[in-house]
Structure 1
Amino acid sequence: MEKYKGVVPQQNGNWGAQIYTNNQRIWLGTFKSEIDAAIAYDRASKKLRSADGPRNFPLNKSTLLEASFQSHCSIETVVGMIKDGSYQAKFEAYQMQKKDKESDNNILSVGKGSFGFSRRVVFGKELTPSDVGKLNRLVIPKRYAVEHFPRVPDELPGFANEVNLWFYDPEKRLWKFRYCYWKSSQSFVFTRGWNQFVKDKKLMPKDKISFYYQQNLEMGFWGIDTCKSTSHIGSSLKLGVGVGVAVEEEDDKMDDQMIQTSQVKSHGLKLFGVQIFG
């Protein structure tokens, strides 16, 4: 007497899975364990015989989501994924996609006045000409970088060690910046991704940016906002009004001077810690 529906033992010690529908036998493949073959049967049964069809294992939160996953696939596609062994990986990718979408929806709801969220402006700075110039980098004042941002790995001296940081703007667009510590100038900087942000927001010297953190009991995220200087007519700061956003102009000037100094060496040109020639 078979232990699981649709599972048949093979002479080589493996286990086969099959299912009958419309008086037709559909072979689902060979598996190394009896349980894997039983799971394959359940997955095919869900597509071929509906969600309440016969199965080997009880429904749980994960298997209930399979109905949604399979609804995007034809019978041939589902059977094909079971046979070639790609079903589990594709189902897990679908689960991650659903979680990401739900997370994005939760974040989008923040802008609509969701109850329980608190928003705290952490720090801000006035942009210098080099922050919005061709260097494609934003200098983060050291005391804020050390206090609020993750530590940049420094196990490899002389290399531009880095991490990636993500921020939402007020339009709920996600921005990713490469965050580095340049030993040559002892500066914390945003590099890759910053130039696109500058272009998109049409930032200029004297404009201000602010970094804020928003959270409730279940989740939190970092945000970034901009404020045009008084020379930009018709612009205003969406966040941070009246909350004392700090502007580290002196720190910025010192960082810029250190970066410029580090670029010129007595034996050639060293740009951002990398020897170009000499």
Structure 2
Amino acid sequence: MKCFHFSKDKSQDEVKTKKCDSIRSSSIARGGSVGSEFNSQTSTTTTTTSITSSLHVLSETHVNNLKVFPLDDLKTATNNFSRSLMIGEGGFGGVFRGIIQSPEDPRKKIEIAVKQLSRRGLQGHKEWVTEVNVLGVAEHPNLVKLIGYCAEDDERGIQRLLVYEYVPNRSVQDHLSNRFVLTPLPWSTRMKIALDTARGLAYLHHGLEFQIIFRDFKSSNILLDENWNAKLSDFGLARMGPSDGISHVSTAVVGTIGYAAPEYIQTGHLTARERAKDLFNSISVEIALLKNRTRQRSVVGN
């Protein structure tokens, strides 16, 4: 079994000969090397060795806040990834509800959401790395909290998992589609969701030493906690925006076409204006909130 750790102790940066490979942490700073894997879209090999060596890691300061979970602990927490505990599923893999001891207070138990990423090729690995990179350094009330991560070999290959806070009131999409609830969201809650998501985006664009472009802003990626606070989630497709003096960053076009800005779809360029593109997507969601409210009122009236 191999396990990968983001370690702050430089004495542990050497590769261990038995069970674990410890990978040196690199600091995230302005410009420079931070974007290499964060913005990477290509790879030449799919071997475990290349996956290990290509891991782009976090700043030493922030990685201390993330817990490294043994795979066995996450299997126990989710009843071996039971389908009965699955709360989400997509091309990325599945999300499972679980219970663990609180990292802050072992006497308490907390609910978690465990995302098990697909093992197909390098895409699952890239999205895993990106999520850890973004949420390992980004901390805001309107971003879902990443508690920790796991990457281990088992009999089925490398398992890449992310452990988040559990956000109980599902996604905005679930509420707009009435898949799980019949009561329409009150107008005040809809306004709160719009403001919360705007705050989360503003933090990604302006609150860090570097700019993060979400690239997949949509209603299914906005989760609602027990107090109906909105939290942006699913940063696997996020990329760093261009640095000062650089006109654009070229990437493969990804995301949900219905929400993506037309200029980005046409060129694949993340320009300095990509902040506006994320805002374009957020406006699309706000319009959906408004139109859904109007439609629901019409249905009730009829």
| Shorter-normalised TM range | under 0.3
Return the structure number with greater helix share.
2
Higher Rg: 1
Q: TM-score when scaled to structure 1?
A: 0.24
In terms of fraction of residues, the more strand-rich structure is: 1
